[in-house]
Structure 1
Amino acid sequence: MRRILMALICAASVTTVVHHSAYAGNTLNAPAGPPKIIIDSDYNTLSDDGQLGVMAAQLQAQGSLKVLGITVVSGNQWLKQGVADALKSVERLGVENQVGVYAGANYPLSHDFATIRAELKAFPGGDGYLGAWNTPEPKSDSDLVAPPDGFATHTKVQSQSAVDFIVESVKRYPGEVTILAIGPLTNIALATRAHPEIVPLIKQIIYMGGAIDVPGNTTRTAEFNWWFDPEAAKTVLHLPIKQVVIPLDVTDTVQMDKALYDRVAHDPAKQTIITQLFKTLNGYGFDGKNGFETNPNYTTNIWDTLTLAYLMHPSFATQTVDEWVDVDTSFGTNDGKATGYTSSPPAGLRKMTVVKRFDNPAFFDFYVDLLTRPVPVKLPD
């Protein structure tokens, strides 16, 4: 792998932060003012995207964060299902009047199902997770699957599109908006292509995406978010914006075990609708049988919520590397594969921060605290 070959070069660009104190409520590395964010997500009820939504709402309630809106894109599930889950999420949390849900792209820019099938046949490998492509596309509301506590009853999707909302928000708050890009990058690519004038106005993009020096998950080389729409990923990665990547390199090392799961799902003093849904939707594994509730040795990685943790507490990243990052868009075994260059990058790439390791105990305290707070969230007066 490149990290071995380039060890001496990497050493010059690796920043290691030794972090000794545990998360202590709102005091650890608290930002000077509340950051403004857009959550761009292939949303779900309470897997990693939905968990980030809960955590962000709690931070907003305490005045530490301003969530401008949730822009939904197809990825883990089709757009209509993701929108339905996001609408119920903000309603469940009691923030539907503060956080709008905006529908975005339903299809990748160029990665269609025929290409996917041809690639997987020609180049087998990875875990084969295809997200939305694994299920029939819902054509009407009758095709949607309700969350365990039902659909939203009064919260509606915003009439403005996700792309227009991103453009308008960035122009309204120039230099202030951070985009947490925790799904495929189609919405952001469309927004910046149609309105390139917003590019210098975006404060930063923090991604959960890519597999730099580790194997992929969907394929042998590609991480799911960037594989789902590699053309969009390439478009956005090349933009002259401050960018931070939380790749599989770090998420592979941040794992939930039974003890951590129990801190959220089984603390008798902190039972809420969120902890109940957390147990229902995360306790039985991806197959509905092998999970925390049935197997004491079960583990799973933690993904998207690391982006929010990094935004709020950059010191949680105990090792980072400054690299130029690109993604492959060619048909074949490497479609969607991310590559990091520590020196001599191809023309047109942007140098960015790639997170390699996290302070897991501090993050876990942050994670459990926000997922187990009372619901509905207590909004500021």
Structure 2
Amino acid sequence: MQRLLWAFLCSVALMLGGCGGDGDDGPPKIIIDSDYNTMSDDGQLGVMAAQLQAEGKLQVLGITVVSGNKWLDQGVVEALKSVERLGVGQRIPVYAGENFALSHDWATIEQELAAGAVNDGYYGAWSVSKTPPTQADLVAPSDGFATSTRLQAQHAVDFIIDAVKANPRQVTILAIGPLTNIAKAMRKAPEIVPLIKQIIYMGGAVHVGGNTTKLAEFNWWFDPEAAQYVVRQPVPQVVVPLDVTDTVLLTTPIYNRIAHGARQTAVTEQFREVMGPGFNGIGFEGDPNYTLNVWDTLTIAYLMDPKFATQVSEEYVDVVNAPGQANNGQSIGYTTQPAGPALQKMKVVQRFDNARFFEFYVDLLTRPVPIQ
């Protein structure tokens, strides 16, 4: 009853102009919900956000970690070291979230592969082990475990709820991993749904093939039930799918500006170590023609200036939740509202200003650290 009353009162207040802070004109407030890694796309976005915060252009309320690229505890290790490496461990808190998808386990995945989902794709944490690591199995980044930065005691789901309530209509969630934490927060406290300013996803493959299965993009495939639940919520939403990330490629000249540029920092060193070998062990260091898609970092560029997106459609987006079926996790965009459950009309980014983006990207990844 309390939740329903809160939601009703806030919805009325929003129509009248606010609900305890709506319309704030300060820098954007963000939660980075991430399957964190040291210096691949999630880690790069963490650096970019911290540098923008130091410049006063945004406020990072926290990093909430979820299993995806790696199991939860490994992602937490890398997130803690990331903020400590940057010197912002006391300014950007890290929260541990959900270890497992709502209903997508390995037995179900095996059924999907047998049903024809095979794409020899990327399976993230499942490729490392079929069970989460013990504390003894956790691997430190090459510059060691965090020594002075501590994990917050509050669970990520509760932090999301509290942060949104404390900053109604001001919080943008950069959803750059599986959506388990966000779905659980919305289910636990549905009154936060109308209080979220917007969600910007790196997720989905709306009009192109998948990168995990033939049809599904990794983030939304890892937890299709959560993805379907979240995208159907009445929140302003922007999708940065494989449709655009397939067209934004990190090339050797751009890589070299960071990895071998004039300013060398702890960030550029990690960038070289992590990104240099690429996915084939040769990568940028051994093949001048090597390229990698750029994923999560497009979301923070869009947040700072939507004009980075040069082509955007408006579509009703849904995610298939069909455990055991070959199309589980597939995302679909409709130009008109289809029959069935009510879908949300959202912005779907199709193309980016690549040249301008890479200037933004290189600048933020090569700034001095630790951040003052």
TM over 0.5: yes
Equivalent residue for 2:144, pick from 141, 150, 175:
150
Partner of residue 88, structure 1? 81
Amino acid paired to 1:297: N
Match of 1:103 among 92, 96, 111: 96
Runs of 5+ unmatched residues, structure 1:
1-30
Counterpart residue number, 2:315: 323
Query: Does the alignment pair 1:219 with 2:213?
Result: yes
Q: Quote the Cα distance in structure 2 between the aligned partners of 1:200 and 1:352.
A: 15
**Shift in Å at residue 344 of structure 1?**
3.6
Residues in 2 aligned to 1:344 and 1:150: alpha-carbon distance in whole angstroms: 50
Q: How does 1:111-126 map to 2 (within 5 A)?
A: 111-126=104-119
Candidates 25, 42, 47, aligned match of 2:35: 42
Deviation string 1:77-105 (CA, Å, 9 cap, x unpaired) is 00000000000001010111111100000
The 2-side partners of 1:158 and 1:344 are apart by 42
With 329-338 and 104-113 compared, the bigger mean Cα shift is at 329-338
In the alignment, the residues of structure 2 paired with residue 134 and residue 298 of structure 1 have an alpha-carbon distance, to the nearest angstrom, of: 23
Residue 348 of structure 2 is matched in structure 1 by 354
Letter in 1 for 2:167: Y
Please give the secondary structure, in 2, of the residue aligned with 1:95. coil
Give the structure 2 partner of residue 301 of structure 1.
293
| 1:67 aligned residue (46, 60, 65) | 60
Distance 1:255 1:270 in 2: 23
1:283 alignment counterpart: 276
State how far apart, in whole Å, the 1-side matches of 2:230 and 2:349 are.
18
Cα deviations across residues 278-299 of structure 1 (Å, max 9, x unaligned)? 0111001123x22000001100
**Post-superposition CA distance 1:99-150 (Å, at most 9, x none):** 1100000000000000101211221432331100112234432110110100
Output the CA distance in 1 between the equivalents of 2:142 and 2:115. 39
CA distance in 2, matches of 1:261, 1:74: 27
Please tell me whether the aligned partners of residues 314 and 346 of structure 2 are also in contact (alpha carbons under 8 angstroms): yes
Runs of at least 4 residues of structure 1 off by over 4 A? Answer: none
Aligned counterparts, 1:108-187, within 5 A: 108-136=101-129, 137-187=131-181
120-129 or 313-322, which deviates more: 120-129
Are 1:336 and 2:329 an aligned pair? yes
| Native 8 Å contact 1:199 1:241 kept in 2 | yes
Q: How many residue pairs end up in the alignment?
A: 346
How much has 1:345 moved relative to structure 2? 2.1
Match of 2:365 among 371, 374, 378: 371
**What is the RMSD of the two structures over their aligned residues, measured on CA atoms?**
1.2
Partner SS, residue 298 of structure 2: helix
Unaligned runs of 5+ in 2: 1-23
Counterpart of 1:238, as a letter, is: R
Mark the CA change 1:279 to 1:139 in structure 2 (over 3 Å): closer, same or farther.
closer
Is the Cα contact below 8 Å between 2:178 and 2:222 reproduced in 1?
A: yes
CA contact (8 A) 2:117 2:215 kept: no
Amino acid at match of 1:216: G
Measured after TM superposition, the shift of residue 173 of structure 1 is 0.3
Compared CA separation, residues 124 and 352, structure 1 to 2 (3 A): closer
- Structure 1 residue 377, shift from structure 2 partner: 0.8
- Give distance in 1, aligned partners of 2:126 and 2:242: 21
CA–CA distance in structure 1, aligned partners of residues 56 and 181 of structure 2:
28
d(CA) in 2 for partners of 1:124 and 1:214?
15
Letter in 2 for 1:50: G
Aligned to 1:234: 228
Alignment of 1:253 onto 2:270: no
8 Å contact 2:316–2:337 — kept in the other structure?
no
> Partners in 1 of 2:275 and 2:25 — Cα distance?
35
- Of residues 168-177 and 118-127 in structure 1, the stretch that sits farther from structure 2 once superposed is 118-127
Q: CA deviation at 1:276?
A: 0.8
Which of the residues 78, 96, 103 maps onto 2:71? 78
CA distance 1:309–1:208, shift in 2 (3 Å): same
In structure 2, what residue type is equivalent to 1:163? V
2:200 aligns with 206
Instruction: Please tell me the residue identity of whatever aligns with 1:374.
Output: P
Identity of aligned residues (%): 65
| 1:266 aligned partner | 260
Distance of 1:300 and 1:183 partners within structure 2: 18
Separation of aligned partners in 2, 1:56 and 1:104: 20
Distance in 1, Cα, partners of 2:225 & 2:283: 35
Instruction: Give, as a single letter, the amino acid of the residue that structure 2 aligns with 1:173.
Output: N
Provide the rounded CA distance (Å) in 2 between the counterparts of 1:63 and 1:85: 25
Give yes or no for contact 1:138–1:144 (8 Å, CA) kept in 2: no
Shift of 1:32: 6.4
